[in-house]
Amino acid sequence: MEKIIVGNFKMNLEKEEISNYIKQIQKNRYYKKAVYCPSFLYIPYFSEKDIPVGAQTISSYNEGAHTGEISAKQIKSVGASHVIIGHSERRNYGKETNEEIYLKIKEALKENLKVILCIGEKEEEIEKRKEVIKVQIEESLKDLPKENIIIAYEPIWAIGTGKVMNQEEIKKVSLTIKNIVKESKVLYGGSVNEKNIKSLAKIEEIDGFLIGGASINPEVFLKIIEVAVTM
């Protein structure tokens, strides 16, 4: 089964850089095998070229007097097909709770967006990892339909640190998640790059990758995509 690849640009790249990025990736035949998640501003740059694109978050509100917020309806209207919800940086800096994440997912599903729900433990929570991710999943999804939900497991202690979990641990976590959310697709994130993608792509228990820093460089990201979808 072909891996699902999602690139999270975070708050990186400006207008000219995005334009050059798109020109660069279009030279590679595998460029449409990934979902690109730039800043809200640049979603149309991808959708207008028929490139799979998603948002990095959304509001928990549908519309109204919510200055600075962007709704699921709005990102759908400019061509987004996916949305990342509950990323650890949103939980940390934005103080997002599982309850707010639940409301955001509810809004996304109303618009038939595919949701990439991020979960993961902090370094001090490693010993109770299973309990932590179980609570995150159950409180974030509750009674919602699961068909359009992709779970992205990112051990918070590994994001941007260069640390990667060993393969046996990744397998165990993926199976744990699939036992909680039956038949769910599970992505792995946390310092995935062009150097470790070959070994990570061999893990049958994971269905793809959520990639941060390495997705900002088009040449590097294309290498990752090509390895992940051809192995």
Residue range 158-190, pLDDT digits in tens: 777 777 788 999 999 999 999 999 889 999 998
Residue range 140-162, pLDDT digits in tens: 999 999 999 999 999 888 777 77
pLDDT bin (cut points 50, 70, 90) of residue 21 is very high
Cα atoms found within 13 Å of the Cα of residue 38, Cβ hemisphere only: 24
The predicted model scores a pTM of 0.96
- Domain 4-230 indexed as CATH 3.20.20.70: yes
* Domain extent listing, the chain: 4-230
Where do the H-state alpha helices sit in 3-110?
15-25, 43-47, 72-77, 88-93, 98-110
Q: What is the Rg, in whole angstroms, of the alpha carbon atoms belonging to the chain? A: 17
Place of tokens 């690849």: 5
Catalytically active residues, by annotation: 87, 154
Share of the chain above pLDDT 90, in %: 90
Place of tokens 């640009």: 9
Average pLDDT for 15-31: 98
Mean pLDDT of the chain: 95
| 221, amino acid identity | F
